[in-house]
Amino acid sequence: MIEKIKRGLEFFQMITYKEYETLYHDLELQQHPEILFIGCSDSRVSPEILLGAEPGDIFVLRNIANTVPSFDARTRDMTTLSGIEYAVLVLEVKTIIVCGHSNCGGCASVLTGRDQLSQLPYTKDYLQPLDIVREEIEKNAGDETPDTKARMMEELNVVEQLKHLKEYPFINERIADGNLSIEGWRYDIGEGEVAMYDEETQRFTPIVSQLKSTDHS
Query: Is 38 an interacting residue with respect to Zn ion (CB under 5 A)?
Result: no
List 33, 37, 38, 42, residue binding Zn ion (CB under 5 A): 42
| 87 versus 150: smaller Cβ distance to Zn ion | 150
Cα separation, 9 vs 23, in Å, equals 18
Nearest residue to 66 via CA among 87, 35, 94, 97: 97
Query: Is 40 an interacting residue with respect to Zn ion (CB under 5 A)?
Result: yes
| 130 versus 165: smaller Cβ distance to Zn ion | 130
Beta-carbon contacts of 59 under 8 Å, excluding residues fewer than 6 positions away, are 31, 33, 35, 36, 37, 83, 86, 87, 91, 93
| 42 versus 171: smaller Cβ distance to Zn ion | 42
Cα separation, 65 vs 46, in Å, equals 14
| 104 versus 133: smaller Cβ distance to Zn ion | 104
Q: Give min distance, CB of 53 to Zn ion, in A.
A: 20
Stretch that binds Zn ion, among 87-95, 102-110, 118-126, 132-140 (CB under 5 A): 102-110
Number of H helices, E strands in the chain: 11, 6
Q: Give min distance, CB of 108 to Zn ion, in A.
A: 9
Query: Would you say how long the chain is, in residues?
Result: 217
Mark 150-189 with x for binding to Zn ion (rule: CB under 5 A) and - for no binding: ----------------------------------------
Query: Is 104 an interacting residue with respect to Zn ion (CB under 5 A)?
Result: yes
| 101 versus 174: smaller Cβ distance to Zn ion | 101
Site size with Zn ion, rule: CB under 5 A? 4
Judge contact between 137 and 152, C-beta under 8 A.
yes
The number of beta carbons lying within 10 Å of the beta carbon of residue 47 is 20
CA dihedral 172→52→62→89, nearest 10 degrees, is: -30
| Positions in the binding site for Zn ion (CB under 5 A) | 40, 42, 104, 106
